[in-house]
Chain A
Amino acid sequence: MIEVNELSKVYVKNNEEVIVLKDICLRIDEGEFVSVMAPSGMGKSTLLNILGCLDKPTGGTYTLDGVSVEGMDDDELSRTRNKKIGFVFQSFHLLPRMKAWENVTLPLIYSDTDSNMKEKAGAALNEVGLGDRVEHLPRELSGGQQQRVAIARALINDPRIIFADEPTGNLDSASGTEVMRIFKELHRKGRTLVLVTHDMETALQSDRIIEMRDGGIVADRTVEAPTEVTK
């Protein structure tokens, strides 16, 4: 699914090189549920952005779903994000003036899917347990509900992989638990999930934990018995 070789990312800031990622080698297979763990500022978001085709590496190779990503131009990257990738952000990133279902349809606008947008959005919202919140505006929803709308948006184009950047970071524990329960459910249905977190408890719910420090991977281990989400 994902194959990364000697990936690096270097910024030039005030004529000084800042190395954010160096020599990352990583392989994630289809159906895996992976957590990337690191303290803040250790390059995990940058890695996620590169894996999510939002950012470009400065070195190394990246193959997603059998296709090499480094050579892609901006339009191809956009198309890849649209068709193969779903994003879930820490701060939800919903458009405040749009209703829940309209937020969910956003990726459809850019994928030339013209029929039954609302129906599809309704189905996606149902999947995250918000079938009765279709017409609500984000501000009328709780944080956990907003994040579930964001998950529905990430699912709408049936992507190959979902990237979540601290998805429970802005939520209380009950809402966080609900979001994680949805992720586990998606995983059970066979989705590939990559989750960035700095919280060990959250990470322990996935199958595999990759630990990063100073732009490099320091540990990569399988979780023998992932924590089940208790309702």
Chain B
Amino acid sequence: MRLLGMGKQAVAALADNKSRTFLMMLGIVIGVATLTIITSSVLGARAKVMKNVGKFGFDQIAVFAGSGKKLGVFRSLDVTTLTLEDAEAMEAEIGNIREVTPQINRRNVPVKHGNLSSYATLVCANPNWSSVWQTRAARGRFISDEDVSRLARVAVIGETMVEDLFAGRDPVGEQILINNLPFKVIGILEKRGTSPAGVDMDGRILIPLSTGQKRVFNIDHLGMIKVALKDPAKMDATVGDVAALLRERHRIQAGTEDDFTIVTPTQAMTMASKISSSFTLFLVLVSAVSLIVGAIVIANIMFIGVNERRAEIGIRRAVGAKKQDILIQFLIESLMVAVGGGIIGVVTGLLGLKGLSFFMKFPSALMWQPIVLALFCAILVGLLAGIQPARKAAGMNPVEALK
């Protein structure tokens, strides 16, 4: 009750001098607004990256044929060293591997249906591709083991392909030409949107790995092997095991470069992280400086206020306020200024984010963490700025204050 009473008193004191209160808030507003923008964009970017890596799979690694492979960059199929036998050996010999899905990926493969044509990303894979990549057939069915053993000319196609080749009509059961070879459409892939590397994930066409190797490309090797782990905590050890196994199978001499590249989720995350760190640093500086300036402004104006309100302090002391009551009252005032400034700052920051994302592609996310962080900083500033003026007020001799 006493606190509530003092809270009301603080509100009245702040309302009594609105322009001063506004000035006190200004620094905090700017500081908290920039802080909100920074944290929202950094967290937004991170969330986006995590989501992308989530698609990549936290419990998965990818083994590409050839050295120095970069994520999202497609290569030609001329590196012949990675084979189906490598994939089978991995699954058989390394304990922490749950599942492997060998595949061949090829971009810009010409596809046709009637007089409509397009270019697809052709993915040749086995039925377990669906579970490892968590992409199911939205309509129709996925590739089956029988399709693989029969080298069946069947295809599961993405939404973009449905648009390009069938103008949105139901394609299941229809024939398309891939690389001038006829394939029967058996299903449609779930919609996936655009990958972090800018690849249209709905522009994919899946065919059985065996069909791709024997009938389309006429090769025996693979482009990559996706490996799902049992225990993602042992990722580093497993990466080592995979590298050792492949080096042994490929008879690579010690000191010679690998003829494959292993990509882990951490690497994928670093690569996909795009927020400019210098921009973030600049905003962090702006926010820190304005919070510090805001604190100094609050402290200064509070000092002036304490001096101007000597009589008030004296009266309060005379009618029974303890030193602590005076201390708390002034602290409540500076806290209210800071929290008020904080709330206005958060709103300004969120509006600023909306404005920024209007002018440029800006990774941001509306999340509670930045708001909590910003308000926490505001409270901290309020307490730090208010403590000295409040102590001065509380320490005033009531007799002197009343003169």
Spell out A's residues near B (CB within 8 Å).
49, 52, 54-55, 74-75, 78-79, 81-83, 87, 89, 93-95, 97-98, 106-112, 114, 153, 157
Residues from 345 to 382 in B contacting A, C-beta threshold 8 Å: none
| Whole-angstrom distance between the Cβ of A44 and the nearest chain B Cβ | 13
Taken residue by residue from 8 to 20, chain B's Cβ proximity to chain A (1 for < 8 Å, 0 otherwise) reads as: 0100110110000
Q: List the 4 shortest-distance A-B pairs measured between CB atoms, nearest first.
A: A82-B320, A114-B1, A109-B5, A107-B319
Known: A112-B2, A114-B1. A95 touches B315 (CB 8 A): yes
Binds A, one of B78-86, B185-193, B321-329, B384-392: B321-329
Nearest-CB residue, chain A, relative to B13? A97
Nearest-CB residue, chain A, relative to B325? A110
Q: How far is the CA of A83 from the CA of B320 in the complex (A)?
A: 8
Q: Which residues of A contact B325 (CB under 8 A)?
A: 78, 110
Q: Which residues of A contact B321 (CB under 8 A)?
A: 78, 82, 109-110
Q: Which residues of A contact B1 (CB under 8 A)?
A: 112, 114
Residues from 298 to 326 in B contacting A, C-beta threshold 8 Å: 311-312, 314-325
Residues from 1 to 39 in B contacting A, C-beta threshold 8 Å: 1-2, 5-6, 9, 12-13, 15-16
Q: Which residues of B contact A111 (CB under 8 A)?
A: 320
Q: How far is the CA of A142 from the CA of B289 in the complex (A)?
A: 49
Q: How far is the CA of A109 from the CA of B321 in the complex (A)?
A: 8
| Whole-angstrom distance between the Cβ of A45 and the nearest chain B Cβ | 9
Of A52, A98, A110, chain B has the most CB atoms within 10 Å of the CB of A110
Nearest-CB residue, chain B, relative to A82? B320
Do residues B315 and A109 form an inter-chain contact, with CB atoms below 8 A? no
Do residues A107 and B402 form an inter-chain contact, with CB atoms below 8 A? no
B399 within 8 A of partner (CB): yes
B398 within 8 A of partner (CB): yes
Q: How far is the CA of A110 from the CA of B399 in the complex (A)?
A: 19
| Whole-angstrom distance between the Cβ of B141 and the nearest chain A Cβ | 73
Q: How far is the CA of A114 from the CA of B16 in the complex (A)?
A: 24
Do residues B402 and A89 form an inter-chain contact, with CB atoms below 8 A? yes
